[in-house]
Structure 1
Amino acid sequence: MELEFTGPVFEWRGPAPYHFVAVPEDDALVIQDVAAALTYGWGMIPGTLRIGETTWTTSLWPKDGSFVVPLKDKIRQAEGIELGDVVTITLTLDV
């Protein structure tokens, strides 16, 4: 299954800052339909993501009934992504 969505990069300040993009509600509902078959625990959903020319594997994090995509520094640096930028993500889930 492949989904494409766009959203702003935001920061969560914990012990170490993380950057994320929220999955839009409509796409989150599609993911929730297949989540039980994909999760490896704690609601984490593994997938392959692409922004621009950069492709990587990570897991979507559950948040407030939806999901967020973590953006590692390495990914943000490769694509020149800054806090607040709006990015388009292609998400592939092995369903």
Structure 2
Amino acid sequence: MAKPTYTFTAELWEWEAQAAWHFVSLPEAITDEIDELYGHTAAGFGSVKVKVTVGTSRWSTSIFPDSKRGTYVLPMKKAVRTAEGLAAGDPVEVELQIA
């Protein structure tokens, strides 16, 4: 059975810490569905492996649960932000598939 693909737009935000990590928060409805379907298969730190497309960039990574925000968060590495011309506060169109 093919795993679902999710498409959404969300704001790119920077983690408030010394390291310049950037993330996109998944919408609540998508988080709830992923948690229900794949939460039991989560790896370390509750991570779920995904394949992501943003613009012309494609990569494999994991999404992580963020209890503070009540959703999964998707890390956006610098190479992708640079290639796609993204900065904190920008809307990001994301296509995400469970790997």
Structure 2 length-normalised TM: 0.88
RMSD: 1.0
What is the CA distance between 1:15 and its match in structure 2?
2.9
Q: What corresponds to 1:18 in structure 2?
A: 21
Please state if 1:35 is matched with 2:39. Answer: yes
Amino acid across the alignment from 1:19: H
1:28-78 deviation digits (Å, cap 9, x = unpaired): 0111012212x2222011100000110001110110231010001001001
Amino acid across the alignment from 1:23: L
What is the CA distance between 1:13 and its match in structure 2?
2.4
Unaligned runs of 5+ in 2: none
Over the matched positions of the two proteins, sequence identity in percent amounts to 32
1:4-38 deviation digits (Å, cap 9, x = unpaired): 1110000112231210000000000111012212x
Q: What corresponds to 2:95 in structure 1?
A: 90
Where 2:40 maps in the other structure, the secondary structure is helix
Moved over 3 A (4+): none
Greater shift in the superposed pair: 47-56 or 7-16 = 7-16
Structure 1 length-normalised TM: 0.91
Separation in structure 1 between the aligned mates of residue 81 and residue 44 of structure 2, nearest angstrom:
27
Equivalent of 2:52, from 49, 54, 57? Answer: 49
